[in-house]
């Protein structure tokens, strides 16, 4: 058995046999702390109790403006996020979940009709497929057919993360995005950590060094990964903590836009945007990422990449754009290379709360 096959087998065993409910987890990696984002509390309350009991996510994967969208959930497990998203896309939208663990999918599929009735839909708008997220091309999904792809603390479990991102990009429409939560490390992990079955199953052993993640995402065609939230993780089990050594771990949500012209840095073209409002749950302020809290009606200077993310995606109808790409003014000040998950001199917890009041300003 090669290393990739061995990793898949260990993960399938851990989530299919070892974990009965989320109470069996040994770290804080696969849990979602804090208050729910706007609109999600009611949606979550509409999800079946058995599905919720088998939830192992590390963040919220419910991006803005999904009404009528076609969404793919990578590593959907027992289906909690699928059923939350099914309410957000509405009866005219569609959510497809993919997972390799038969036991998890059995739970998800057992409650399809229950959720259809709970939501008041005439037909179910969800589908569950068994397969590997590294082999999305084998699932019969139409290329460039999804508006949004989500994943919740699953890509770290994959032995071939480059294949996951490349396959996901091929399924995205132009201007679509991957919006996903995952676990990252502040350094490259030794084999003793990466090969430990419990640390792997707890979403730590497979965590990418954040710098390598940025390189992998660029290689897959995502020119500018944007951090949405981040929080430090704890390893409370003393045995597991000793195995991890000095490595630090973070749960982070990133968004990757499928836009060809994105540049590797934040370049200044003298552009700005004005948020017109209208996105449900974000009527007065739209938060793109940790550096972009855009108030309604206010001229907000942006780099070329941010301009494209807002004007060449599903958000375009909600923004007016100012300027073009005819003149280049150099790079935005502060567009550096420090670890994005923990800015020197600042607490990570502050980065995670992107919806708190703060000053608007330029990107980066």
pLDDT in tens, 22-66: 454 555 555 555 556 667 889 999 999 999 998 877 777 899 999
User: What span, in angstroms and rounded, lies between the C-alpha atoms of 253 and 319?
Assistant: 23
Question: Over 157-179, what HEC string results?
Answer: HCCCHHHHHHHHHHHEEEEEEEE
Q: Which segments of the chain belong to CATH 3.40.50.150?
A: 3-257
End-to-end CA distance of the chain: 45
pLDDT score, position 340: 74
Which ranges of the chain have pLDDT less than 70? Answer: 1-38, 334-339, 342-364
User: What span, in angstroms and rounded, lies between the C-alpha atoms of 291 and 362?
Assistant: 8
pLDDT score, position 37: 66
pLDDT score, position 341: 76
pLDDT score, position 38: 60
> Do 141 and 171 touch, CB atoms closer than 8 A?
yes
Provide the whole-model pTM.
0.85
* Cα dihedral: 290, 71, 59, 197 (round 10): -130
Q: What angle do CA 204, 199, 2 make, to 5 degrees?
A: 100
Count of residues making up the chain: 364
pLDDT score, position 106: 97
Q: Can you list the positions of beta strands (E) in the chain?
A: 70-74, 94-99, 126-130, 146-152, 172-185, 208-209, 226-232, 249-257, 271-275, 285-289, 292-295, 299-302, 319-322
User: What span, in angstroms and rounded, lies between the C-alpha atoms of 5 and 75?
Assistant: 17
* Per-residue exposure over 235-267, b if at least 16 CB sit within 10 Å of its own CB, e if not: beeeebeebbeebbbbbbbbbbbbbeebeebbb
Q: Can you list the positions of beta strands (E) in 235-308?
A: 249-257, 271-275, 285-289, 292-295, 299-302
pLDDT score, position 354: 34
Place of tokens 């040994």: 26
What's 318's DSSP letter?
Answer: G
Place of tokens 């609109």: 39
The structural architecture, per CATH, of the domain 3-257 is: 3-Layer(aba) Sandwich (3.40)
Q: Which segments of the chain belong to CATH 3.40.5.100?
A: 271-352
Looking at domain 271-352, its CATH class is alpha beta
* Cα dihedral: 223, 206, 55, 117 (round 10): 50
Summarised one tens digit per residue, pLDDT across range 160-197 is 999 999 999 999 999 999 999 999 999 999 999 999 99
Rg (CA), the chain: 20
pLDDT score, position 26: 52
């Amino acid at each position: 058995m090669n290393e990739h096959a061995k990793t898949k087998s260990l993960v399938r065993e851990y989530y299919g046999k070892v974990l009965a409910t989320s109470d069996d987890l040994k770290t804080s990696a696969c849990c979602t702390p804090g208050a729910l984002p706007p609109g999600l509390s009611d949606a979550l309350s509409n999800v079946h109790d058995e599905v919720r009991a088998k939830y192992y996510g590390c963040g919220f994967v419910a991006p803005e403006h999904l009404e009528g969208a076609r969404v793919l959930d990578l590593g959907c497990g027992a289906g909690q996020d699928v059923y939350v998203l099914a309410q957000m896309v509405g009866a005219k939208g569609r959510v497809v979940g993919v997972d390799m663990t038969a036991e998890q999918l059995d739970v998800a599929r057992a409650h399809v009709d229950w959720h259809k009735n709970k939501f008041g839909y005439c037909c179910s708008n969800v589908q569950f497929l068994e397969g590997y997220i590294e082999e999305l091309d084998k699932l019969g999904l139409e290329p460039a057919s999804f508006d949004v792809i989500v994943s919740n603390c699953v890509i770290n479990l994959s032995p071939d993360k480059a294949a996951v991102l490349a396959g996901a990009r091929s399924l995205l429409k132009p201007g679509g995005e991957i919006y996903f939560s995952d676990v990252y490390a502040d350094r490259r992990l030794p084999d003793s950590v990466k090969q430990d079955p419990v640390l792997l199953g707890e979403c730590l052993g497979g965590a990418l060094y954040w710098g390598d993640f940025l390189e992998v995402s660029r290689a897959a065609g995502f020119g500018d990964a944007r951090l949405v939230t981040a929080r430090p993780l704890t390893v409370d089990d003393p045995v597991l903590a000793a195995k991890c050594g000095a490595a630090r771990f973070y749960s982070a949500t990133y968004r990757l836009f499928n836009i060809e012209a994105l540049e590797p840095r934040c370049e200044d073209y003298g552009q700005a945007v004005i948020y017109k409002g209208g996105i449900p749950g974000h009527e007065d302020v739209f938060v793109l990422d940790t550096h972009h809290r855009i108030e309604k009606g206010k001229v907000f200077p942006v780099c070329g990449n941010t301009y494209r993310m807002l004007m060449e995606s599903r958000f375009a109808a909600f923004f007016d754009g100012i300027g073009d790409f005819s003149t280049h003014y150099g790079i935005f000040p502060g567009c550096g290379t420090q670890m994005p998950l923990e800015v020197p001199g600042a607490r990570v917890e502050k980065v995670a709360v992107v919806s708190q009041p703060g000053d608007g300003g330029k990107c980066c």
